Amino acid sequence: MRVLIVEDETTLRAQLVRAIAESGYAIDEAGDGETAEFMGATEPYDAVVLDLGLPKLDGITILKRWRAAGIATPVLVLTARGAWTERVEGIDAGADDYLPKPFQMEELLARLRALIRRASGHASAELRCGGLVLDTRSNRVTLDGSPIGLTAHEYRLLSYLMHHVGRTVSRAELTEHIYAQDFDRDSNTIEVFVGRLRRKLGRDLIRTERGLGYRLEVP
């Protein structure tokens, strides 16, 4: 899962990047509205955290342009404290949720998890596929009750497949959703990660659809 963080206050942006990265997401960041609009329009994010007061282009305009262009990425807007008109404007412009500043990081993380799982049709914070359980709150994975230790990339890859269980996902799509923009991407490494996941989870859980990609099968 990959998240774009748009915030012009550098201290807050750094806090957001750290907290959201620690929660198992690949992160891109933007500090002004023009950069943010371009990134959101050209990269396939699983969610965006969008501050509304930004240099060069304000958050409401960015959101309206994305929605007019058919970009349906879930967006959590950060609004000024007490500015209820901003919240109304944000929701009307296409925001999926909002959080007034200042906020507790834990609340932002919980809202972000909920947005991402609802966008892929999951109501529960625990994603299940047979005996495999991924808890999006703790980033813990268990198989038939036993904990499975995963690296950050293995976790992101499995999390993406679990969010899209039953659907065949191409290597290109996996690459786009588990790496940040500035990361040196190589779609061959996807095969390596899948191989490692199979060694940890058993060979049959992740199916290969030759020429198409990978699929977690609902048992």
Binding characters for Ca ion, 33-52, by CB under 5 A (x = yes): ------------------x-
- Which residue lies nearer to Ca ion by CB, 53 or 131? 53
Distance CA 56, CA 31 (A): 10
In the complex, what is the shortest distance from the CB of residue 10 to Ca ion, in angstroms, rounded to a whole number? Answer: 11
- Which residue lies nearer to Ca ion by CB, 33 or 213? 33
- Which residue lies nearer to Ca ion by CB, 101 or 198? 101
In the complex, what is the shortest distance from the CB of residue 7 to Ca ion, in angstroms, rounded to a whole number? Answer: 6
Strand order in the sheet with 47-51: 26-30, 2-6, 47-51, 75-79, 97-100
Amino acid, single-letter form, for residue 219: P
Q: How far is CA 48 from the centre of its chain?
A: 8
In the complex, what is the shortest distance from the CB of residue 190 to Ca ion, in angstroms, rounded to a whole number? Answer: 36
2-31 residues near Ca ion, rule: CB under 5 A: 8
Residue 116 tokens read as 């991402």
In the complex, what is the shortest distance from the CB of residue 45 to Ca ion, in angstroms, rounded to a whole number? Answer: 19
Dihedral sign computed on CA atoms, order 103, 109, 112, 117 = negative
51-80 residues near Ca ion, rule: CB under 5 A: 51, 53
CA distance readout (Å), 68 to 63, 72, 90, 115 = 8, 10, 14, 20
- Which residue lies nearer to Ca ion by CB, 33 or 94? 33
Distance CA 36, CA 14 (A): 16
Residue nearest to Ca ion (CB): 53
Size of the site for Ca ion (CB under 5 A): 3
User: Which residues here bind Ca ion, judged by CB under 5 A?
Assistant: 8, 51, 53
